[in-house]
């Protein structure tokens, strides 16, 4: 007898429906799994044998042949166990074949028949809805994650016997337990930062337009403190953005048991010794999302960016430009979304005291040259804003907190994002990410700004990409000012955000 059910293959941050066909053939008892399975999938036979024996079913006395289709797509992971086990029971006429129709089944089997959690329950549920299938049978631990998708029936099971009894019609699952409200990470307030009015405004512009920002200054000047307060002034995520962020965490196996939808924008701060695969994604076996994808719809913070290797920094050029990472393998390409705001902090030199009036710099000319060369011209072209952050004076350090709170700044940022959403017709399109043709339609330069721009191109020796980034920042400054026209004042502020670091250090 031939039994058919379905599971999913995880490719990047997406899941694709896989047809699971199980038949009993002639020959010695055994199992053959075909359809380009990886080693963990081939090992499913041993787990299924032990699990079936534990629940009293036993292995069929005939040869089992399982096919995972389409055969051209490599199958990775242990989440096929439960679907294969149900196929074996159905082929052996212990589970009605008709009961498997319309169900996507995921779950890893333990030797005692219990079902363990697996990554990718949310993408599996999204794929089920897209394919217009009935629902998902999954480990109880993953049920709340799978139930985030409306219109998909989710059946949580704790062991193989419950799954078989449900398909036979003799068992009804308990209601899915609503996970406790996750403890939100405390958001640090921008008002806690003493001084730095220009840097605070640059942070506001970066949040309002989705721009990348490089902060340059001596140790202890407040660069990291400023960067860690950026999430507090970013607008709340939409439901679609939250689902995308949660989906990436799901395929990474980073969701805690019984997790809820992730509603806080990500803030990722990898160490400067991060590997290329750790930053961009990849690794052996099934490619995994890197830090740039884990920062999707949030912030990627590179502290002490001058300590990162040059090839690691240059690998950011394509993600910053395209908003997606493509990892090419012999069996195909895997895509991970990575639309994030890059915030980088950099000291003036390796020791940190170049230009300091109180402490002498100990770096050699070769060290200074090597340090400055870490940020190449093409990468700097993709960083919209570059500002200097100096030390704060004694009076400001000892005085009372000053300036606006994160809540006040966030209100203006949300208003600016609303303007962009109305202009571009999309909640995720910002001045930094919108196609250039759409941006040009809404630039509206004043006559004096147009003349000013021509002079700036010659003076700053701007490349085509550098000019594009400059115009995007100017558009955001005008939006924060509530102006439909980009004036020479708006353009001047944008130019001020682009010249300080390159002129003082990197040129």
* Residue 506 predicted with pLDDT over 50: no
Are 293 and 410 part of one and the same domain? yes
414 within some domain: yes
Residue with the bigger pLDDT between 113 and 285: it is 113
Task: Report the mean per-residue pLDDT for the chain.
Answer: 87
226 φ, ψ to 5°? Answer: -65, -45
For range 313-320, the mean pLDDT = 92
450 within some domain: no
pLDDT tens for each residue of 173-194: 888 876 655 556 677 888 888 8
Are 90 and 162 part of one and the same domain? yes
* Residue 147 predicted with pLDDT over 70: yes
What is the band of 503 on the pLDDT scale with cuts at 50, 70, 90? Answer: very low
- CATH number of the domain where residue 63 is located: 3.30.230.10
63 φ, ψ to 5°? Answer: -80, 135
What is the band of 17 on the pLDDT scale with cuts at 50, 70, 90? Answer: very high
Are 92 and 13 part of one and the same domain? yes
311 within some domain: yes
Number of domains in the chain: 2
Question: Final residue of a domain: which of 405, 425, 445?
Answer: 425
Kind and range of the H or E run holding 423: helix 406-424
Are 274 and 383 part of one and the same domain? yes
What is the band of 331 on the pLDDT scale with cuts at 50, 70, 90? Answer: low
- What gap in Å lies between CA 207 and CA 201, rounded to an integer? 10
What is the band of 214 on the pLDDT scale with cuts at 50, 70, 90? Answer: very high
What is the band of 396 on the pLDDT scale with cuts at 50, 70, 90? Answer: low
**494 near 470, Cβ under 8 Å?**
yes
Are 251 and 120 part of one and the same domain? no
Q: Which two tokens stand for residue 333?
A: 């390409």
Which pLDDT value is given to residue 15? 92
* Residue 502 predicted with pLDDT over 50: no
494 within some domain: no
Q: Which residues contact 335 (CB under 8 A, 6 or more apart)?
A: 12, 13, 14, 324, 325, 326, 327
**473 near 212, Cβ under 8 Å?**
no
pLDDT tens for each residue of 148-178: 899 999 999 999 999 999 999 888 888 887 6
Residue with the bigger pLDDT between 395 and 213: it is 213
The single residue listed with the structure tokens 């952050």 is 389
What is the band of 354 on the pLDDT scale with cuts at 50, 70, 90? Answer: confident
Residue with the bigger pLDDT between 498 and 321: it is 321
Most confident among 52-66, 114-128, 354-368 (mean pLDDT): 114-128
Q: What percent of the chain has pLDDT over 70?
A: 93
134 within some domain: yes
For range 395-404, the mean pLDDT = 70
Are 163 and 230 part of one and the same domain? no
Are 228 and 358 part of one and the same domain? yes
Which pLDDT value is given to residue 258? 56
* Residue 245 predicted with pLDDT over 80: yes
Question: Final residue of a domain: which of 425, 454, 484?
Answer: 425
Are 418 and 270 part of one and the same domain? yes
For range 280-300, the mean pLDDT = 89
Our measurement of the distance from residue 363's CA atom to the centroid of its chain's CA atoms, rounded to an integer in Å, reads 37
Which pLDDT value is given to residue 116? 94
Which residue range forms the structural domain that includes residue 151?
2-168
Are 220 and 144 part of one and the same domain? no
What is the band of 490 on the pLDDT scale with cuts at 50, 70, 90? Answer: very high
For range 426-450, the mean pLDDT = 86
pLDDT tens for each residue of 364-387: 888 888 887 888 888 888 889 999
Which pLDDT value is given to residue 363? 86
* Residue 332 predicted with pLDDT over 80: no
Q: Which two tokens stand for residue 415?
A: 């208003």
Residue with the bigger pLDDT between 307 and 137: it is 137
The model carries a pTM of 0.85
471 within some domain: no
Residue with the bigger pLDDT between 143 and 25: it is 143
**425 near 442, Cβ under 8 Å?**
no
- CATH number of the domain where residue 244 is located: 3.40.50.300
Q: What percent of the chain has pLDDT over 90?
A: 47
C-alpha to C-alpha distances, 389 to 201, 408, 494, nearest whole angstrom: 12, 22, 16
For range 74-78, the mean pLDDT = 90
86 within some domain: yes
Which pLDDT value is given to residue 499? 62
Which H, E and C letters describe 187-219, residue by residue? Answer: CCCHHHCCCCHHHHHHHHHHHHHCCCEEEECCC
Which pLDDT value is given to residue 399? 67
What SS3 class is residue 289?
A: strand
- Cα atoms in the Cβ-side hemisphere of radius 13 Å centred on 394: 0
Are 216 and 157 part of one and the same domain? no
Are 254 and 392 part of one and the same domain? yes
24 within some domain: yes
Which pLDDT value is given to residue 302? 95
Which pLDDT value is given to residue 29? 76
Sign of the dihedral through C-alpha 50, 53, 55, 61:
positive
C-alpha to C-alpha distances, 265 to 176, 207, 229, nearest whole angstrom: 26, 12, 12
- What gap in Å lies between CA 390 and CA 217, rounded to an integer? 6
Which of 105-119, 251-265, 437-451 has the lowest average pLDDT?
A: 251-265
Are 210 and 157 part of one and the same domain? no
């Amino acid at each position: 007898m031939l039994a058919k059910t379905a599971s999913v293959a995880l490719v990047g941050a997406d899941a694709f429906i896989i047809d699971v066909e199980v038949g009993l053939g002639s020959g010695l008892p055994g199992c053959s799994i075909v359809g380009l399975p990886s080693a963990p999938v081939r090992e499913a036979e041993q787990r299924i044998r032990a699990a079936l024996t534990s629940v009293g079913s036993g292995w069929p006395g005939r040869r089992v042949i399982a096919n995972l289709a389409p055969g051209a797509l490599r199958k990775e992971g242990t989440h096929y166990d439960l679907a294969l086990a149900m196929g074996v029971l159905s082929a052996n006429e212990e589970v009605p074949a008709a009961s498997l129709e319309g169900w996507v089944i995921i779950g890893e089997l333990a030797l005692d028949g219990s079902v363990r959690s697996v990554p990718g329950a949310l993408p599996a549920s999204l794929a089920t809805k897209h394919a217009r299938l009935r629902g998902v049978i999954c480990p109880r631990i993953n049920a709340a994650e799978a139930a985030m998708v409306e219109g998909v029936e989710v059946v949580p099971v704790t062991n193989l016997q419950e799954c078989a009894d449900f398909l036979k019609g003799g068992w009804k699952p308990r209601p899915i337990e609503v996970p406790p409200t996750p403890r939100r990470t405390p958001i640090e307030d921008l008002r806690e930062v003493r001084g730095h009015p220009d840097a605070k405004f640059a942070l506001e512009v970066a949040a309002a337009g989705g721009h990348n920002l490089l902060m340059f200054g001596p140790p202890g000047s407040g660069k990291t403190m400023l960067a860690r307060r950026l999430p507090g002034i970013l607008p709340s995520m939409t439901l679609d953005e939250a689902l995308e962020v949660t989906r990436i965490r799901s395929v990474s196996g980073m969701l805690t048991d019984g997790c809820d939808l992730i509603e806080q924008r990500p803030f990722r701060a990898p160490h400067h010794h991060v590997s290329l695969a750790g930053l961009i994604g990849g690794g052996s076996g099934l490619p995994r999302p890197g830090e740039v994808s884990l920062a999707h719809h949030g912030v990627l913070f590179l502290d002490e960016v001058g300590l990162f290797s040059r090839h690691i920094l240059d690998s950011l050029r394509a993600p910053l430009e395209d908003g997606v990472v493509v990892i090419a393998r012999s069996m195909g390409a895997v895509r991970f979304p990575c639309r994030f705001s890059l915030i980088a902090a950099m000291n003036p030199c390796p020791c940190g005291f170049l230009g300091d009036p109180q402490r002498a710099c100990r770096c050699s000319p070769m060290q200074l040259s090597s340090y400055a060369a870490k940020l190449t011209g093409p990468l700097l072209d993709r960083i919209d804003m570059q500002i200097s952050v100096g030390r704060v004076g004694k009076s400001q350090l000892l005085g009372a907190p000053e300036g606006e709170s994160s809540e006040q700044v966030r209100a203006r940022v949300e208003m600016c994002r609303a303007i962009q959403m109305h202009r571009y017709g999309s909640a995720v399109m910002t001045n930094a990410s919108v196609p250039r043709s759409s941006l040009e339609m809404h630039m509206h330069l004043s006559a004096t700004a147009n003349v000013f721009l021509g002079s700036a191109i010659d003076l700053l020796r701007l490349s085509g990409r550098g000019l594009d980034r400059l115009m995007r920042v100017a558009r955001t400054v005008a939006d924060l000012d509530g102006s439909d026209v980009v004036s020479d004042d708006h353009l001047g502020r944008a130019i001020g955000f682009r010249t300080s670091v390159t002129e003082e250090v990197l040129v």
